[in-house]
Amino acid sequence: MGRKSDARRRLIDAAHELIWEYSYGAVTIDAICERATVKKGSFYYFFNSKADLALVAVNDWWTERQTLVDKLFQADVPPLDRLRKYFDYVSQRQCKAYETNGQVLGCPLFTLGAEISSQDERIRLRIHEILISLTGYFEAAIADAQEAGEVEGHDSAHKARKLMSYYEGHLTKARIENNVEAVRHLSSDVLEVIGVHSAATAT
């Protein structure tokens, strides 16, 4: 039996990398095939269009990220540690991307969603669903932190939305400015938005 082709996997990875590094509009099917070292005919064997591939790449990204999020946001992890460790992970990813590309790349979902929201309803809705799901993790952690007296108030849903807005805006601004220093201390910067000071986030 011959070796199973990993061409589909390479196309998904290439699409994610190129769209994150550049933009959906700037990336062509030819460029994706070249990065993936896959012939264009093979692209159309797996996908009908660039949009179809982008949607698969979005779902694939979230499947991988959700596994990590589930681990970081386990109920037995102290609530502020859940948030801090997640944002520390994001910060490390951003710094690594900067070292590789010389560019702060921001959030791949937010960047793609902002660009394509008026072009492809399927992708817009899927990204919206994922962001809502991620906000839910934030909300649960904030609610537990409030119950523990580590965050004031009882408006965990509002604070979670506020946290998400600042987090995504912060990454987008860092991408525009190409300012890697803006993401080095992401967890303390972001958590201050819900009233957590830097000292309280330390392990």
Low-confidence ranges of the chain (pLDDT < 50): 1-4, 199, 201-203
- Could you give the CA distance from residue 23 to residue 34 in angstroms, rounded to a whole number? 16
Q: What torsion, rounded to 10 degrees, do the Cα atoms 68, 69, 72, 76 define?
A: -130
Contact status, residue 202 vs residue 185, Cβ threshold 8 Å? no
Q: Are 124 and 51 in contact (CB under 8 A)?
A: no
Task: Please count the other Cβ atoms lying within 10 Å of the Cβ belonging to residue 194.
Answer: 25
Q: What is the pLDDT of residues 118-141, one digit of tens each?
A: 899 999 999 999 999 999 999 999
pLDDT given at position 5:
73
Token pair recorded at residue 17: 């990398």
Which domains are delineated in the chain?
54-201 (1.10.357.10)
DSSP structure string for 45-78: HH-SSHHHHHHHHHHHHHHHHHHHHHHHT-TTS-
pTM, two decimal places: 0.90
pLDDT of 196 reads 86
Contact between 122 and 172 (Cβ < 8 Å)? no
| Contact by Cβ (8 Å): 32, 8 | no
**Cβ-defined contacts of 143-151 (< 8 Å, 24+):** 143/79, 144/75, 144/79, 145/79, 145/80, 145/83, 145/196, 148/79, 150/79, 150/80, 150/196, 150/200, 151/194, 151/195, 151/196
